Structure 1
Amino acid sequence: MIKIDGVFVIPEKLLKEITVIEQKAIVKQMISYEVVYPYDSVNQLKFELLFRVNTIKAAKQLNKSGAKFTTFSYSFSNKKYWTRLINGGFLLRENASPSIAILDILQNGSLYAFECSTAIAIVLYIAVLHTVGPSIFNKHFQNLYLRDWQFDEDLPVYQSIGDDFLIGDVLHFNNPDFDPEQPWWRAENVIYFGGDRFYGHGVDIRSSSEIINFLNKKRKKQSKDSAYLMRMITRPHYLSLYSLK
């Protein structure tokens, strides 16, 4: 359910106002759940819808970029824009343009390798860029640092527990009995495309069963505990991003 300025919206009226097919699909998801999604204005809702669509766009772009999957120990990046730190993270070089540097990952993917949580951060930063444009992005993200779940203060994220999965959400597959010799497959962080499609760095765009089957091959020998899709949802704080000027 969607509430704007304290009032529940009339679904038919809102769907007439939202003209982009991909955004309509998200609105229909929101309407179908018992969860209340509150907004101060229609523009706030439209911003989130645009961001979510851009998250899918960014995930598809990263998937096609040629960037490789690897662990923190073996990560690498384009030295023109990024300094690789001893912990495997990437720090934006001084005087490098944040927007140019983050898009370089898409344009020169073969020069990059990282694991799945860093890939999620990259997707969300690119989604921000697609949504607010390079001028605002460069103003607020001058100290980009790409590693794991460490985000800039201007890109806050939060987690909740539930089943109200929305297109553009970050979801998580857990692999509780992972092979200790391959601890990087203890989980897979994914972008939810809707239906039964997910993007995960290192596993491509797959169905839930395909990702679970993949992770199950990375378990201890004779394990009986299957990987599974968690009820944990990670989302950017869209209202904070809406306020970026």
Structure 2
Amino acid sequence: MIIISDSDVEQVNKVTQSDVEREILQKKKASPVIYRYDSPEALEFELKMRSKIVKSATDLDASGVRFATFKGSQCNKRYWSRTKNGGFGLKSGVLPSDGINDIFQNGYLYAFECATAVVIILYKAVLDAIHKEAFNTYFTELFLWGWNVDSNLRLISVNNKNEAYLGDILYFENPDHLPETPEWQGENTVMLANDQYYGHGIGIETSEGIISALNSKRKPGSMTSAYLSERVLHPDFQSLQKLSVRGNPLAVQNKYSVNAIVARVGANTYIY
């Protein structure tokens, strides 16, 4: 169920959606979990941000970037400085938006592991959602290395894979991975569609395809299969929306159109 506090029913009736956004909205409306939003703008921002995460993941898959451990990581030296631990620090004088965009434009110059890939996907989605002026204001010291993230990219973790939505980050565990290849102890993935995931180094696959790829990296004779864990990760959409509004005052003027049954009870609006 979705609840929007202190909202105008006419606004809620006007939310425009892509196919991805519509699928997310319908699933949230049907969920037994209550999802609360401060405004229709907050709901729309999350829907659009999730859609951009999905697009960023598919774009990264098509960009030519390669999988590598931290030891073998590579980057475009025009924009990034590679550190001894295999991370990438944004060079002085380079706009954060240019550094992130270059990964998608010149992917053949880059190689990194799956956690770094997910963070890059999230940065690109944020860039496209809040626009480059706001992104360059709030994400000034990018350092790409595993799960290291800028303080403005707040990540929220829940343990309920049944409440995963398109654009969420899910993790496939591989408990019996080969000791000499710790990079295959699991796979961080982006949920692109119903039972479709992008995992850097594996590609776009079903859950069965991801598990099969990980099982091929198990200890000889192992009978313990890889599996989809309960962990679900996503950005703090409300926090990012505030950055978007600060960096782009016109962002709050978006119009809405929702194909839903709307009921007003007291100060709250319910969408079914």
TM range (shorter): over 0.9
Query: Which of the numbers 118, 121, 124 marks the counterpart of 1:123?
Result: 121
- Please give the secondary structure, in 2, of the residue aligned with 1:22: helix
- Please give the secondary structure, in 2, of the residue aligned with 1:191: strand
Q: CA deviation at 1:14?
A: 5.5
Map 1:79-98 onto structure 2 (within 5 A). 79-98=77-96
Query: Which of the numbers 23, 29, 54 marks the counterpart of 1:56?
Result: 54
Q: What is the TM-score when the length of structure 2 is the normalising length?
A: 0.86
Q: CA deviation at 1:21?
A: 2.4
- Please give the secondary structure, in 2, of the residue aligned with 1:17: coil
| 1:101-144: CA deviation from partner (whole Å, max 9, x where unpaired) | 10000111011000000000000000001101111111111100
Q: Does the alignment pair 1:196 with 2:163?
A: no
Q: CA deviation at 1:31?
A: 1.4
**Equivalent in the alignment of 2:152:** 154
- Asked if the contact 1:59–1:199 (Cα under 8 Å) also holds between the matched residues in 2, the reply is yes
**Equivalent in the alignment of 1:45:** 43
Query: Which of the numbers 23, 33, 40 marks the counterpart of 2:31?
Result: 33
CA distance in 1, matches of 2:149, 2:133: 19
**Equivalent in the alignment of 1:232:** 231
**Equivalent in the alignment of 2:15:** 17
Letter in 2 for 1:46: E
- Asked if the contact 2:15–2:44 (Cα under 8 Å) also holds between the matched residues in 1, the reply is no
Letter in 2 for 1:68: R
Q: CA deviation at 1:25?
A: 0.8
| 1:193-233: CA deviation from partner (whole Å, max 9, x where unpaired) | 12110000001100000110010000000001000001100
CA distance in 2, matches of 1:3, 1:209: 35
Map 1:172-183 onto structure 2 (within 5 A). 172-183=171-182
- Please give the secondary structure, in 1, of the residue aligned with 2:81: strand
**Equivalent in the alignment of 2:266:** none
Letter in 1 for 2:108: S
CA distance in 2, matches of 1:68, 1:78: 13
Q: Does the alignment pair 1:241 with 2:240?
A: yes
CA distance in 1, matches of 2:61, 2:174: 22
Q: CA deviation at 1:15?
A: 7.3
- Asked if the contact 1:158–1:235 (Cα under 8 Å) also holds between the matched residues in 2, the reply is yes
- Please give the secondary structure, in 1, of the residue aligned with 2:238: helix
| 1:23-78: CA deviation from partner (whole Å, max 9, x where unpaired) | 11110111122111110001001000000000011001100010000000110100
| 1:140-166: CA deviation from partner (whole Å, max 9, x where unpaired) | 111001111111011110211012010
**Equivalent in the alignment of 2:72:** 74
CA distance in 2, matches of 1:108, 1:64: 11
Letter in 2 for 1:3: I
- Tell which structure's C-alpha radius of gyration is larger: 2
Q: What is the TM-score when the length of structure 1 is the normalising length?
A: 0.95
Aligned length in residues? 242
Letter in 2 for 1:205: I
**Equivalent in the alignment of 1:2:** 2
Letter in 2 for 1:4: I
Letter in 2 for 1:229: L
CA distance in 2, matches of 1:155, 1:135: 16
Gaps of 5+ in 1: none
**Residues 213/14 of structure 1: CA separation in 2 closer, same or farther (3 Å cut):** farther
- Please give the secondary structure, in 2, of the residue aligned with 1:30: helix
